[in-house]
Amino acid sequence: MGYLNNQIVTVDAILTKKGRELLAKGDGSFVIDRFALSDDEVDYTLYNPNHPSGSAYYGEAIENMPLLEAFPDETQMMKYKLVSLARGTSKMPILQLGQTSLNIANGAPFTVTPNTINYLDGQTTEPSGYQFTISDIRVFGSFVGSGITNAAAQALATTNAQTVVTNGTATSQTVIGLTCSGNGTSVPTLFSTTSTLYATLTVIGLDSGARAQIPVFISNKSIATQTASAVS
């Protein structure tokens, strides 16, 4: 990873690991049909309305910040996408998952049910649902979304059902729903050198653009089932 020259306009387009995976399948599942913009590198606290040179220089520090080159880990880039919200919105929507991590035993079930706060006059559920992405699908024995049956959700479900998960390859997987559920993996070879598997679960509101991310720990022992349910 490096920095781009912010004095010139540069389009740095690469495929993420997930994009490479879909392209390698050669079955037509690699289709680019939309784009998003983000401002991950921007520190807006640098905006200075007291700049001695006047209003034309209030954003000088921000405009001179370096931009990062694109990098292929889709779970670590474009975390802060630009979104369109209703006129008059005074607070950014926030996702609540009910806990700061997901801790389950091998084979144990889990459910994650997000709530969105600061959204549509108190509405806590988004009509289009949520996008759930696990950074390493090997940590789950099953991983499904429920509550949304639109074309995007069905397409992802079909793709996931056709995807062959191998123990030696860490790949992400995404589902769409109002909730996601599944169970921790019971594959013993994954625990051959460790007692705990690690991954990251990223949740994005498909209407609000709000995002939350929590670590996932799968323990090779019997512990109580943990449910990540949203709190108001």
Q: What ranges do the domains of the chain cover?
A: 1-82, 94-229
Q: 43 by DSSP, 3-state: which?
A: coil
User: Residue 8: what are its φ and ψ, rounded to 5°?
Assistant: -130, 160
> Could you tell me the pLDDT band of residue 4, with boundaries at 50, 70 and 90?
low
pLDDT of 231 reads: 41
- What is the rounded average pLDDT for all residues in the chain? 84
Instruction: Render pLDDT for 144-197 as a digit per residue (tens, 0 to 9).
Output: 999 998 888 888 888 888 777 777 777 889 999 999 999 999 888 888 878 899
Instruction: Render pLDDT for 100-133 as a digit per residue (tens, 0 to 9).
Output: 999 999 999 999 999 999 887 777 899 999 999 9
Cα separation, 180 vs 172, whole angstroms:
15
Contact indicator for 4, 67 with CB cutoff of 8 Å? yes
Who has greater pLDDT, 226 or 224? 226
Percent of the chain scored above 90 by pLDDT?
Answer: 39
28-44 mean pLDDT: 83
pLDDT of 179 reads: 95
Cα separation, 96 vs 232, whole angstroms:
8
pLDDT of 189 reads: 87
Who has greater pLDDT, 80 or 142? 142
Q: State the DSSP H helix or E strand holding residue 154, giving kind and residue range, or none if neither.
A: helix 151-162
pLDDT of 1 reads: 53
Cα separation, 160 vs 143, whole angstroms:
9
> Could you tell me the pLDDT band of residue 85, with boundaries at 50, 70 and 90?
confident
Instruction: Give every CB contact of residue 129 below 8 A, 6+ residues apart in sequence.
Output: 145, 147, 148, 150, 153, 176, 177, 178, 206
> What CATH code would you report for 94-229?
2.60.40.1080
Residue with tokens 């074309």: 151
Q: Please check the confidence at residue 64 and state whether its pLDDT lies above 90.
A: no
Amino acid, single-letter form, for residue 15 = L
User: Residue 217: what are its φ and ψ, rounded to 5°?
Assistant: -125, 120
pLDDT of 3 reads: 64
> Could you tell me the pLDDT band of residue 227, with boundaries at 50, 70 and 90?
very low
Nearest to 99 by CA among 214, 179, 209: 214
Query: For the whole model, what pTM was predicted?
Result: 0.76
Say how far residue 173 (Cα) sits from the centre of its chain.
Answer: 10
pLDDT of 115 reads: 94
Cα separation, 132 vs 21, whole angstroms:
18
Q: Please check the confidence at residue 222 and state whether its pLDDT lies above 70.
A: no
Strand partners, 212: 203
pLDDT of 177 reads: 95
23-34 mean pLDDT: 82
Instruction: Give every CB contact of residue 29 below 8 A, 6+ residues apart in sequence.
Output: 22, 159
Contact indicator for 40, 70 with CB cutoff of 8 Å? no
42-65 mean pLDDT: 91
